Amino acid sequence: MESEQLFHRGYYRNSYNSITSASSDEELLDGAGVIMDFQTSEDDNLLDGDASVGTHYTMTNGGSVNSSTHLLDLLDEPIPGVGTYDDFHTIDWVREKCKDRERHRRINSKKKESAWEMTKSLYDAWSGWLVVTLTGLASGALAGLIDIAADWMTDLKEGICLSALWFNHEQCCWGSNETTFEERDKCPQWKTWAELIIGQAEGPGSYIMNYIMYIFWALSFAFLAVSLVKVFAPYACGSGIPEIKTILSGFIIRGYLGKWTLMIKTITLVLAVASGLSLGKEGPLVHVACCCGNIFSYLFPKYSTNEAKKREVLSAASAAGVSVAFGAPIGGVLFSLEEVSYYFPLKTLWRSFFAALVAAFVLRSINPFGNSRLVLFYVEYHTPWYLFELLPFILLGVFGGLWGAFFIRANIAWCRRRKSTKFGKYPVLEVIIVAAITAVIAFPNPYTRLNTSELIKELFTDCGPLESSSLCDYRNDMNASKIVDDIPDRPAGTGVYSAIWQLCLALIFKIIMTVFTFGIKVPSGLFIPSMAIGAIAGRIVGIAVEQLAYYHHDWFIFKEWCEVGADCITPGLYAMVGAAACLGGVTRMTVSLVVIVFELTGGLEYIVPLMAAVMTSKWVGDAFGREGIYEAHIRLNGYPFLDAKEEFTHTTLAADVMRPRRSDPPLAVLTQDNMTVEDIENLINETSYNGFPVIMSKESQRLVGFALRRDLTIAIESARKKQEGIVGSSRVCFAQHTPSLPAESPRPLKLRSILDMSPFTVTDHTPMEIVVDIFRKLGLRQCLVTHNGIVLGIITKKNILEHLEQLKQHVEPLAPPWHYNKKRYPPSYGPDGKPRPRLNNVQLKPIAEEREETEEEVHLLNSTTL
Amino acid sequence: MARRLVKCKYAQAPPLSAVRSRYVTEGTSPAGMTPGGTPGREPLELVPAPRIFHLFNDNQLFDFSSNSEDVRCKCICPPYKDHLGHIYNKNISQKDCDCLHVVEPMPVPGPDVEAYCLRCECKYEERSSVTIKVTIIIYLSILGLLLLYMVYLTLAEPILKRRLFGHSQLIQSDEDIGDHQPFANAHDVLARSRSRANVLNKVEYAQQRWKLQVQEQRKSVFDRHVVLS
């Protein structure tokens, strides 16, 4: 009952939105300990009081019944909820790994006891493979569903299959016998909307009707998508890769990988792709796969209770996601390694490999494209390329790098605008407007009207005699009697020239629309539009080079290879290289990208051109700004992501970074045995720090350990409820032995079990290079700074990020002011109406400003400044 | 043709109904497989299959002969001499998928057949119409359910609650929150529902909890722009 009083006193008001915490269920990313006990805790209690006050502590008191006579039980029996994390907090990798090893030892030691324990240990050992298998199965199946449904809905914009409503255009005409080239795309079963509504298939009337229906469907799909996202799962919007990168680096976003996010993302992804917006489904598929991984990891206690282990599953899941998104299993594994994962031991590599394999296998069995391949754009030519072609390939690389740099700047500027101005208040309207503009402009141009994947496929394809598109309208030499595969370079016909015009327009259109599309509140991936832009540019360059070689085959560069009648230039290859270059410019991936592209197209011979172009585009892109689009978005949102790729080259010391600063009040600390429960509660109330160093005593200041705020509140709350005789004036004892107390004093509260006895420490003279490295490699959350064994201060991950940002601003004053938004939210107020303590007195970096304005909890561990 | 039943799994279910997953689909063997095997089926069951199966025509699922529409051999022959380009399309087994079997009647006289056929490109393709049908039906039904639920939450529920709980309270809370989005009153309802705490209310309680969660997400994404902007 005391606890209820506590609530009314607003004891825990600092705890941020208890709504999320109170509503933790298995769909949340973490907090498993809490989940386990949730059902057993008194629901009535949970509902007591204002829902906004501290309910999340109530739910943690279901377990641990410590009778007063067994005080020491506290040491053995963990208090439920201790060791879990709040929303928007960073996990401590080291602690999680220790926890896992301990669990492993426990299971191993019990193994010999009985057959049942043996089975349990086997299950435990296999659960890693089981969970990635399930993840692979689920993501493969979902990818198949998305592919099929998206194909069908995309074609629904044009018409419908009357004989079987569930077929898309291609499937509808599966068995039709339209034998001539002119009629190859027509079949009686497939009706365009104009045919159905006004009864004519040709003429301006039907064109206008089709136009109207196209816009109508595009708008309704976009509207449905955004409203579903808005109503059911706001976290389902966007590409998801920046957030997944952040989560994998050890951040907690509850609900981001939950059931509802999964369902809504799957459903709306189809709608978004079908609406013709300039977006792709690849990035969101990674998110979908990660949701599957997260959900399945709840079946296995090994993963559900340990955040670090769970991230291993998520790494494997993201590999499965790329595997099915591109049909590139190896590329998926490398993508996981190069781009998203933070901690990637060999074991995870194998699991990723296996997950990618299973997912690709399932997708292949579903055979969504009907070509017995995993991907739509599989090229079948194997024409050789020549050395001089490296020049245009490198030019394409330059184009890709420029596009990437331009896209990142423009898109980030636009997203910042959305984030910081009123304009961001109208997400639905924005989506509708973008969809309307896209549809209106896209329809007249056949290359933009096409589904983007289809467009890429067409651009990748080489012109054989079988092609009927205007891209292949070359002037043919009718009486050539060569076999199909080896068609010499030919002069372009009028069709090709008009196609080039249309492609140029399509290129400009795609470039502009993609900038505005990426980041709207529907699931939107970036890979496909980027590839489309590169493929268009590449195809144009390819045709240009081809014509150049045809008309000037006596130039010295062409002389050796391009004789009359030789087939020396393949424009489709240029499209492929361009696509890789543009994707590389945007994402700054290298190895995984090349592997993805050659798996995607089957062009094993073209690895060298792809590598040349991707490398060039990375260099050119890096010249304009070192970060890829995902890092840029992470920075825009201010996620606490410590990039392992960046180098730290400054000469600062740990003492320069640690909190408190010289001008700040001293560190808030706990002493190991002479504070009372009330003292600690007051300290927790007055500060917003997430952890407190524990020292021997005020006099000696020597370090004993580290206690986390969340653990403290949970433990005290639990003790107040469950243990008799714990009142405000009880001593709290972190030490091994309870100090001798006067006889009349209340019983002491032993909290040694929640004390981290081995906090990481560095001395104040440690160079920051080393500290940053420690943080990156070990995934620390905080690190204490000592001098002669005396605690001086603390460095948190956030302090490091702030420091890096500060140095960056200092060194590169011309860097774009990414925090360029004015303050819109009043400072947050503490429980007593006073503004909460600022982190420190120095000028806060933008990330801190934004966070502080909005929600203080998003901060990592705040350091102490009295 | 060796064929398998392959499980296609859709892991999510609509909110109101219990978790109800439907999986079925039928995949066909890779094109590269040796043809001529007996139809082997290994239904990988995860699901109460009968429920699904009676939804669709049993024949279509199990009688593979009715599925023969699902293979085709398509030959595209480019213009040759004075013959225009032609496309031939035939249901034929993979082993017979070549120009000589598919192109009928042969448009060119005997001596030219070889030259003509060399230019033709024949592709053997398979699909599974049942997979497509089932996928589209599953997709549309989930979409439909979600839409219905969305309409219910945005339109019907506020009206119902208004009737149930009377005007004054809600108007007040509306002013407080200043927010007419769906679930805006979830806080209220959650607080209120404790007064009649019984087992039946657990479902509603869970639902309200979920709503609060979504509301919180919506705030951080759309209002505060903390994440995902």
Q: A20-34, A264-278, A506-520, A746-760: which range is least confident on average? A: A20-34
Sheet containing strand B121-126, edge to edge, reads: B86-90, B71-77, B121-126
* Nearest in space to A418 (alpha carbons), one of B216, B223, B214: B223
Cβ–Cβ gap B6/A366 under 8 Å: yes
Distance CA A119, CA A852 (A): 50
Contact between B84 and B65 under an 8 Å Cβ cutoff? The reply is no
Is pLDDT of A666 > 60?
Answer: yes
Q: Does A294 touch chain B (CB under 8 A)?
A: no
Structural domain boundaries in chain B:
71-127, 129-170
Q: Closest to A180 (Cβ–Cβ): which among B25, B85, B89? A: B85
* Position A443 confidence tier, pLDDT thresholds 50, 70, 90: very high
Average pLDDT over residues A266-281: 92
Contact B11 A292 (CB under 8 A): yes
Binning pLDDT at 50, 70 and 90, where does residue B16 land? Answer: very low
Query: Would the CB atoms of A47 and B194 count as touching at under 8 Å?
Result: yes
Nearest by CB: A418 against B23, B118, B229: B229
User: 10 Å Cβ neighbour count for B171?
Assistant: 11
Mean pLDDT of the region A143-157: 91
Q: A149 and B212: CB-CB below 8 Å?
A: no
Q: For residue A337, what is the DSSP state?
A: I
Residue A811: the pLDDT is: 64
CB contact under 8 A, B11 and A138: yes
The one-letter amino acid at A771: V
The pLDDT mean for chain A works out to 78
Out of A174-178, A347-351, B9-13, the most confident range is A347-351
Report whether pLDDT(A563) > 90: no
* CA proximity to A404, closest of A534, A535, A507: A534
Angle at CA of residue A475, ends A469 and A476, nearest 5°: 95
Q: What are B65-90's pLDDT values in tens digits?
A: 345 677 888 888 877 777 777 778 88
Residues whose CB is less than 8 angstroms from the CB of residue A829 and which lie 6 or more positions away in sequence, other chains included: A835, A836
> Considering CB atoms only, which of A17, A267, A855 is closest to B143?
A267
CB B135 within 8 A of CB B127: no
Closest CA to A782 of A657, A684, A677, A672: A657
Cross-chain CB nearest to A177 (options B25, B89, B202): B89
- Give whole-number Cα distances, A664 to A14, A707, A827, A830, in Å: 22, 22, 20, 19
How far B163 CA sits from the closest chain A CA (Å)? 23
pLDDT at A798: 84
Residues 346-365 of A with CB under 8 A from B: 362, 364-365
Of the candidate ranges A500-509, B176-185, B199-208, the one whose mean pLDDT is the lowest: B176-185
Q: What is the pLDDT of residue A635?
A: 87
- Judge whether B224 is closer than 8 Å to chain A, CB to CB: yes
Contact status of B182 with chain A (Cβ, < 8 Å): yes
Q: How confident is residue A222, by pLDDT bands cut at 50, 70 and 90?
A: very high
Q: Which of A190-199, A707-716, B72-81, B184-193 has the lowest mean pLDDT?
A: B184-193
A639 vs A215: which has the higher pLDDT: A215
pLDDT of residue A181: 67
Q: What is the pLDDT of residue A548?
A: 86
| Cα A754 from Cα A671, distance rounded (Å) | 14
Give the number of other CB atoms < 10 A from CB of residue A464.
Answer: 16
Contact assignment for A365 to B88 by CB distance below 8 Å: no
Radius of gyration (C-alpha) of chain A in whole angstroms: 31
ipTM > 0.85 (yes/no): no
* Chain A CB contacts of B126 below 8 Å: 367, 370, 372
Q: What is the pLDDT of residue A722?
A: 79
Determine which of A476-480, B16-20, B49-53 has the lowest per-residue pLDDT on average. B16-20
Q: Å from A440 to nearest chain B CA?
A: 26
Residues of B in contact with A634 (CB under 8 A): none
Measured between beta carbons, the chain A residues lying within 8 angstroms of B137 are 166
State residue A167's pLDDT score.
87
Question: Which of A166, A251, A294 is best to mutate for the B interface (most B CBs within 10 A)?
Answer: A166
Residue B162: burial class (beta carbons within 10 Å; 0-12, 13-18, 19+): middle
Put simply, whether A828 touches B (Cβ < 8 Å) is: no
Whether residue B212 lies within 8 A of chain A, CB to CB, comes out as: yes
The token pair at A612 is 């040349």
Taking CA–CA distances from B15, the nearest residue in chain A reads A260
Q: Is B148 or B193 the better-scoring residue by pLDDT?
A: B148
| pTM of the complete model | 0.78
pLDDT, average across residues A613-618: 94
A175 closest CB neighbour out of B72, B153, B209? B72
Q: Is A142 near chain B, with CB under 8 Å?
A: yes
Query: What percentage of chain B reaches a pLDDT higher than 90?
Result: 7
Cβ pair B213:A23 closer than 8 A:
yes
**How many angstroms from the chain centroid is the CA of residue A373?**
27
Please determine, for residue A847, whether its predicted confidence score (pLDDT) is greater than 60: no
Chain B residues in contact with A857 (beta carbon < 8 A):
none
pLDDT digits (tens, 9 = 90+) for A9-66: 333 333 333 333 333 333 333 333 333 333 333 333 333 333 333 333 333 333 333 3
In eight-state DSSP terms, residue A240 is -
Residues in chain A within 8 Å Cβ distance of B218: 230, 234
Label residue A821 by pLDDT band (50, 70, 90): very low
pLDDT at B55: 40
pLDDT grade for A185, boundaries at 50, 70 and 90: low
- Whole-angstrom Cα distance, residue B187 to residue B193? 10
The pLDDT of A710-729, averaged and rounded, is: 81
Q: Which of A52, A181, A367, A635 to mutate to test the interface with B (most CBs of B within 10 A)?
A: A367
pLDDT of A192: 87
Q: Kindly state the percentage of chain A with pLDDT values over 90.
A: 27
Contact B86 A243 (CB under 8 A): no
- Higher pLDDT, residue A473 or A705: A705
User: Which residue's entry shows tokens 């009737």?
Assistant: B163
- Give me the pLDDT at residue A361, please: 92
Distance from CA of B34 to the nearest CA of A (A): 14
Domains of chain A: 131-175+184-366 (1.10.3080.10), 387-476+486-628 (1.10.3080.10), 654-738+745-811 (3.10.580.20)
pLDDT at B160 over 60: yes
For the ranges A629-643, A666-680, B27-41, B75-89, the maximum mean pLDDT occurs at A629-643
Integer Cα distance of A292 and A134 in angstroms? 8
- Interchain contact, A855 vs B8, CB within 8 Å: no
Cα–Cα distances in Å, from A134 out to A294, A363, B113? 11, 14, 52
Place of tokens 């350990």: A705
Q: Token digits for A49?
A: 């009081």
Residues of A in contact with B69 (CB under 8 A): 174-175
pLDDT above 70 covers what percent of chain B? 54
Q: Round to whole Å and give the CA distance between B56 and B58.
A: 6
Asked if A234's CB is within 8 angstroms of B11's CB, the reply is no
Contact assignment for B197 to A43 by CB distance below 8 Å: yes
CB contact under 8 A, A166 and B132: yes
